[in-house]
Homo-oligomer: A and B are copies of this chain.
């Protein structure tokens, strides 16, 4: 697969995600809903629309495609996951958390609205994520949908993303004296804070495709490798990236005195780790042959990205 083909497919899924999120966040109340208050809807839309590479939906769609799953259901499941990812950005940006004013080049939700509205918008995006995952259009088999709900909840709750954010705040010395994390603690924190949702994105495709245990295991290894690669690339961008290109602040880790794998191993060491993780991702995909080329390209993209 050449770079242009990959870029085209990534763009196509980002476009499809945006269109579907637009529909999921329209003003029409669903059965079982009373009404959708305009201010809250506007804040949710501000937090979810108009942005990003939509890497997580792309992983769901391409992992599902490996198992012959039709695109429409996988894209809807990917949108459920993206809503959850967006909630985490809205809450992490709050003054009480990471206190960020800028996200994807725009004011964060609490800057554009206010803290209370941002808290509620995050809550409602998280809730909508599960509502979407439960929809029949995701998959005809309720067992598949309930597995998605369960695994998404575990990936994003206390034992996953939310727990990882807690560890991150603790590492900044917010609750006790600040201390420098050991490498294994950094790996655990990152596996929870950012890795868990990326692993879930890959696993979701396998769940949708009712993959057998060995295949699901292979996808899990792939997801773990690219999840780690994603975070190392992020830490490299924080050191080397340009805030105008990224649309968010950079050099935040160094300013906060925060240890990362980049600060421990240096940029060259981190690049060597990325190469190793790409190799691991390739190995994990071996059983699928060249049908998995798009996922191999995704691993390289995740490691090499410049924004």
Contacts and interface: CB of A to CB of B under 8 A. Distances in A.
A94 B119 contact: yes
A68 interface: no
Nearest to A87: B123
A142 B100 CA distance: 41
A170 interface: yes
Count chain B CB atoms within 10 A of each CB in A34, A134, A166, A192 and give the residue with the most. Answer: A34
A96 B115 contact: yes
A35 B188 contact: yes
Contact of A188 (B34, B124, B162): B34
Given A91-B119, A120-B165, A123-B91, A36 B158 contact: yes
Nearest to A199: B32
A88 B307 CA distance: 36
A97 B121 CA distance: 13
A150 B134 contact: yes
Contact of A119 (B96, B145, B158, B164): B96
Given A40-B163, A142-B142, A158-B44, A174 B134 contact: no
Bin the interface of chain A by size. Answer: 35 or more
A178 interface: no
Q: Is the interface of A mostly helix, strand, loop or mixed?
A: helix
Interface in A134-164: 134-135, 141-143, 145-146, 149-151, 153-160, 162-164
B160 A34 contact: yes
Interface in A186-243: 188, 191-192, 196
A86 to B, nearest CB: 13
Interface of A: 29-37, 39-41, 44, 87, 91, 94, 96-97, 114-117, 119-120, 122-124, 126-128, 130-131, 133-135, 141-143, 145-146, 149-151, 153-160, 162-167, 169-170, 174-175, 188, 191-192, 196
In order of increasing CB-CB distance, the 4 nearest A-B pairs are: A33-B159, A131-B153, A32-B154, A127-B157
8 contacts: A32-B159, A96-B116, A120-B169, A123-B162, A124-B158, A128-B158, A133-B149, A134-B150
